[in-house]
Amino acid sequence: MPMKLDVREIERKPAIDLYQLVCELFPINRSQTGSGVRKTLSIIARHIDLEINEVRTGTSVFDWHVPMEWNIRHGSISTVGGKCLVDFASNNLHVLGYSRPVQGVFTRAELARHIHTLPDQPDLIPYRTGYYADDWGFCLPHNLWQTMNDDVYHVEIDSDISAGSLTFGECFVPGETPNEVLLSTHVCHPSLANDNLSGIAVMTALAMRQARQKRRLGYRFLFLPATIGAITWLARNEPVLANIKYGLVLTCLGDGGQFHYKQSRKAATIDRAVAHVLRHSSLRHEILPFAPYGYDERQFCSPAFDLPVGCLMRGVHGAFPEYHTSADNLDFVKPEALDQSYSVIETVLDLLDADCTYERVDGRCEPQLGRRDLYRTIAGQREAGGATQMDLLWLLNLADGDHSLLDMAVRADIPFARLESAARIALDAGLVHARSE
């Protein structure tokens, strides 16, 4: 479905090819920790000013500790005659994440205790992890496992779990005020294109864009391993949390499905902003209530912080058949879906940056618009897709120092960009002034 967003006339194309970035990152094996995360962040750092942080194993972060670092070089199941049946090199989903090293000959019954398949999706490889299980395992198509009827098999996983560090990336783009927008995506999944290479690609492009924009707000872009990454970042950054006025977790943005927005824990401006943009975009979407399960919004929205952070996605975790399987591949992600997701989010960011409160210079009755030649101005705006006369009247009526532009847009059911255009007209005419934050 083509985009029909009513937005300001600015360049809305990402500065990089989002799909190509997904393709470049796809082969890399990632996990909570390890060299794959570092390699991924080094590629992102080619495009943005990314600070790469290392937090040592064992570091206390609230009720958690930074885990041991995991790296893997090889994993396979072979017949005793040497025929390789399952090979990590052909698909990095084949080895259970955080598998400890193992080498030896196992009976089929012994091996079965370490095999993960999807009987309902027998041709697909599942994605499974054992972060804290102290175990090893393989993931393979159920149909393949059904054909493996030898008495014994040779198994090898060449990995190590040792003291190291957790790695995450942060890019902060300061604004004119101390107030910030936080955007977060996770970097711990291996070759899964939608969940969550799509989020990485879109957020990288957004960071590039915001760095070259004139900004009222600051923008903090976090590339984190899921759960433990957000917990670690929060533990290290409590002093800056008061500045975060809006936040989005970005995930699953590359499939062709409708948009889903999961609200923050509390009724927040970010929830109204995203809902408003989606409502006036002509795009199919659904607004979901907050629930303490999902992505890292549940960390940012934990009760002691209760940050205004929602989650924007297309496919919902666990609700599409490709989720956490080998079907979440480069064919599943669509370049046009990535570009569309980028456009929606940059429109939300533009709204947040432009949302301010105006007050009439003289709020007694309506000002005389004709004397100020505003009807002619409105006519020109209308031809360019800008404000209408009714938009200006809404602005002048609600500019009481208490209603922000978003408040006005929601109440009048008018696209935000038109209210913003009306505000510029009224400001130029000396009819309103902006309230300081």
Tell whether the torsion through CA atoms of 224, 304, 273 and 435 is positive or negative: negative
β 309-313/259-262 pair status: antiparallel
Report the alpha-carbon distance of residue 296 to residue 352 in Å, rounded.
21
Query: Is 195 marked within a binding site?
Result: yes
Report the alpha-carbon distance of residue 42 to residue 294 in Å, rounded.
27
Of 131, 314, 150, which Cα lies nearest the Cα of 227? 131
Report the alpha-carbon distance of residue 211 to residue 8 in Å, rounded.
18
Q: How far is CA 160 from CA 57, 65, 75, 136, 189, in A?
A: 14, 19, 12, 11, 18
Residue 378 and residue 238 in contact, taking contact as beta carbons nearer than 8 Å: no
Report the alpha-carbon distance of residue 19 to residue 339 in Å, rounded.
9
Residue partners of 107: CB distance under 8 A and separation at least 6: 151, 152
Tell whether the torsion through CA atoms of 231, 235, 236 and 237 is positive or negative: positive
Half-sphere exposure of 194 (CA within 13 A, CB side): 28
| Cis amide bond preceding 71, omega within 30 | no
Query: Is 65 marked within a binding site?
Result: no
Query: What residues form DSSP beta bridges with 70?
Result: 161
User: What secondary structure does DSSP assign to 283-341, as a single string?
Assistant: --EEEE---S-SSTHHHHTSTTT---EEEEESSPTTSSTTTTBTTSSTTTS-HHHHHHH
Residue 121 CB coordination number (10 Å): 17
Report the alpha-carbon distance of residue 373 to residue 377 in Å, rounded.
7
User: Torsions phi, psi of 267, nearest 5?
Assistant: -65, 115
Question: CA dihedral defined by 394, 400, 406, 408, rounded to 10 degrees?
Answer: -30
Residues annotated in a binding site: 189, 195, 324
- Binding site for Zn(2+), by residue number, is 189, 195, 324
